[in-house]
Amino acid sequence: MRKAFRSSLLFISFISCTTLQQTTGTLPTGNNNPTQAQIVQGLKQALAIGTQNSTSRLSVLDGFFADADVKILMPPEAQQVEKTLRQFGLGSLVDKTILSLNRAAEDAAKSATPIFTNAIKQMTINDALAILQGGDFAATNYFKEKTTASLTAAFKPVIDQSLNKVDATKYWSDLFTTYNKFTTKKVPADLSAYVTQKAIDGIFYEVGLEEQKIRQDPTARVTDLLKKVFGSQQTQLK
């Protein structure tokens, strides 16, 4: 089980107001209660921490490669190729190819944080309330809707460059040139598009996992705003 990013768990302080919002149509306010604007501000703060931690974790060396949940393997259409090459003693070439795919994804992940930050800045009160009353992956689904196109546009050139930098394109070419010596069936695969999609999938997986933990595991409040929001909701729910 991976280590949860404790700072991002602050998001749970806002989830506790969901029951009240569903029954009254508004978030509780009052002399000792945070305003809707304060709650939204705190939600944005928590989401910023969570997404930054998630992308930072994946962008370091082995962020993808050493994590079995997001590690990029050979495309499904190439798995038989991998098996055949390993049988012919070419496992080292396959391993180098897989490593290079993950290094490219780690490079690309570095450009994700500002894209998430921009999506958070554009979040409306209605967006925030929908996330608060949504399911385990409401925030993740919001980010998918708002950032997928931008992530793809940002990742693609980075991955193209990274694949060349770590010789992934060369390994890929060598791999299938070698394989084609033993078969007449050509394996079609757009390497760059494949790695781009898998990198984005990995980031959303990480963000979604953190969101699920956040909703299920309350922890400390580290700012006055978060303490006010959390404390007032706890009082209201008693």
Tell me the per-residue pLDDT of 106-127, one tens digit each, with 9 for 90 and over.
999 999 999 999 999 999 888 9
Dihedral Cα 89, 90, 91, 97, nearest 10 deg: 180
**pLDDT over 50 at 5, yes or no:** no
Residue 34 pLDDT class (50, 70, 90 cuts): low
Q: Is the pLDDT of residue 4 over 50?
A: no
Which residues fall within 8 angstroms of residue 121, CB to CB, at 6 or more apart? 44
Q: Return the domain boundaries, the chain.
A: 6-237
| Residue 64 DSSP class | T
pLDDT at 15 over 50: no
